[in-house]
Structure 1
Amino acid sequence: MTRWLDEDEQQTWRRFLAATQLINEALDRQLQREANMPHAYYVILVRLSETPGRAMRMTELAAQAQCSQSRLSHAVARLEERGWVRRERAASDRRGNLAVLTDEGYAALASAAPGHAEEVRRALFDVLKPEQVRELDEICSAIVSAADGNTLER
């Protein structure tokens, strides 16, 4: 039996979709304008910058960037063209591929980060009260925990 959304849930769902789309579009516009990169590329660079040796297996990077292997491969190819990332064979088994953040890529990320942080603040945190930020964190944590437990796949 289908569990339809009631009127309040439908309204909340649509506002959630609108809010996340508006934030994502604002972040993408800002990064395109100021750093000449889409938000998806920024996420990849951040993930690599936070990893020891600034290198990560492509499969793990796809999972952390929440994108498909083919989409990641395409993005890494574009990042390689810019000199921001390079691919290497994994030393441990020589079958896997690593994405490695170059010094040029790290510099591009460091240059883009201040504007990105300001846009995140403007688009999300500046419009919320401190207690709303805490509530949003709890809500997001619950959603991520449910997804990690595969409960969203039912």
Structure 2
Amino acid sequence: MRAWRAYVLGSELLRKQLNRELQDRHGMTLADYEVMVRLSEPDDRRMRMAALANEVASSKSRLSHQITRLEHAGLVRRVDCGDDARGVFAELTQKGMDRLRETAPTHVFGVRAHLIDLLTDSEQTDLATVFERVLKHLRNLP
């Protein structure tokens, strides 16, 4: 019970703090930052919407609304999939990439200050091992 409660409260407070820092310094939500990070990783800076939803643990509907907001800001655009008329890519624009580069130091500093630097190297390894196992388990559920 101690581990579960510490995880639930600690992870929620950590996300709120990281979100607050991004909002206060850059007017960006943590959720939008996470979407933009995922889009920045492929060479062409695009992902199918369904895959992106899976990567950020979001519903397709919620992600669609989020992408619409990011589109209005000029940070992301939707691109039809040429080989699949039903498929749509979300693509990070150059403006979005520039904005991500601007906000990344704030996020990295927060993650380090509020989590990573509080752990020993061994604890960091243990944390990664535990949550990689949890992710694998949950992604294999029907």
TM more than 0.5: yes
Indicate yes or no: 2:117 matched with 1:126: yes
Q: Over the residues paired in the alignment, what is the CA RMSD in angstroms? A: 1.1
Indicate yes or no: 2:71 matched with 1:80: yes
Render the CA deviation track for 1:75-130: whole Å, top value 9, x for unaligned: 00100010000111111122211111100000000100011100000110111112
Which TM-score applies when normalising by structure 1? 0.88
Indicate yes or no: 2:36 matched with 1:15: no
Indicate yes or no: 2:14 matched with 1:48: no
What is the one-letter code of the residue matched to 1:130? D
The equivalent of 2:93 in structure 1 is 102
* Alpha-carbon spacing, 1:149–1:95, altered in 2? closer, same or farther (3 Å): closer
Aligned length: 142
Structure 2 CA distance, aligned partners of 1:52 and 1:90? Answer: 16
Q: What stretches of structure 2 of length at least 5 have no aligned partner? A: none
Structure 1 CA distance, aligned partners of 2:99 and 2:68? Answer: 16
Render the CA deviation track for 1:51-87: whole Å, top value 9, x for unaligned: 1311111111111111001100010010001000011
What is the one-letter code of the residue matched to 1:148? R
- Report the secondary structure of 2:85's partner residue: coil
- Report the secondary structure of 1:67's partner residue: coil
Structure 1 CA distance, aligned partners of 2:77 and 2:136? Answer: 33
Indicate yes or no: 2:32 matched with 1:32: no
The structure with the larger Rg is 1
Equivalent runs, 1:132-151 vs 2, <5 Å: 132-150=123-141
Which TM-score applies when normalising by structure 2? 0.95
- Report the secondary structure of 2:47's partner residue: strand
Q: What stretches of structure 1 of length at least 5 have no aligned partner? A: 1-9
Structure 2 CA distance, aligned partners of 1:106 and 1:120? Answer: 20
- Report the secondary structure of 1:66's partner residue: coil
- Report the secondary structure of 1:53's partner residue: coil
- Report the secondary structure of 2:84's partner residue: coil
Q: Which moved more, 1:122-131 or 1:66-75?
A: 122-131
